[in-house]
Amino acid sequence: MKFSRILTSCAIAILALGGIGASADEDSEKKGLKFLESTGWFKSSAPIQDLRDRSTKAFELLDENDSGSITLEEIDLTQFETDMAKMTPAELQETRQRINAIRSKFMSWSEEIDEFDVVDTNSDGYWSEEEYEARTDNLNLHRLELGIKQWDKDENGAVELHEFNSHLDELEMYDEDGDGTVSREEAFKSKDGHLISDVLRQQLLTDGAIVVGGPGLLKGLPDGVSGEVQMQVIHKTTKEESKEN
């Protein structure tokens, strides 16, 4: 798995790493790990129990109606667009946490999609003005739907807690030194993008550091500032976009 694909699919701290994604898989991972080492971050290991507790809390945050499952309606990002201006600071903080959790867990960038067909909702072969204006919302919703399907093992249209946490079921297998934690190096041996994302995010919080995506842009959290890891997603362009560029 390419290092750039890992970070993209995890939606965590997308970085411009100088063409790392174009190299061979194993070489990419080595370069990626070397880059992380050079930042001075991700030093601490992530306690296994903390990883599971954090994942469960994320599930509870997204299960808005406390039904024991997460549906597409609960993670539809368009629901936040009109309400945020009216929120109190506490409500706004929780909403931002929900948005970050939705993007990191369910926004699927691993599957190629036909963006034209997704936006062309009436399948007439053209984009109307209304379809064009709604293209971002429809593309995001489609990727979230793909994300739901990736986790919905029993195909009942929703994601239960055991499915949401399934990537953490065998954490002990990656704890090679048996210290009850998973290091960055141990996590990368799993080849599971979501597991790697969870470990890196936990390490970022532990190390008091934050990575903000963007070409060559790295920033640390100011002293005394805490909170969720903020993320910016940079996704691969389609073949058509590549040709145009």
**Segment 176-226, tens digit of pLDDT:** 989 999 988 898 888 888 898 888 888 877 665 444 433 333 344 333 333
Report the distance separating Cα 33 and Cα 17, nearest Å: 11
Q: What is the mean pLDDT of residues 92-104?
A: 89
28: left (phi over 0), alpha (psi -120 to 50) or beta: alpha
106-140 confidence digits (pLDDT tens): 988 877 889 899 898 889 899 999 989 989 989 99
Q: What contacts 206, CB < 8 A, 6 or more positions away?
A: 44, 46
In this structure, are residues 71 and 157 in contact, taking their beta carbons and an 8 Å threshold? yes
The domain tally of the chain equals 1
Domain that holds residue 225: 3-244
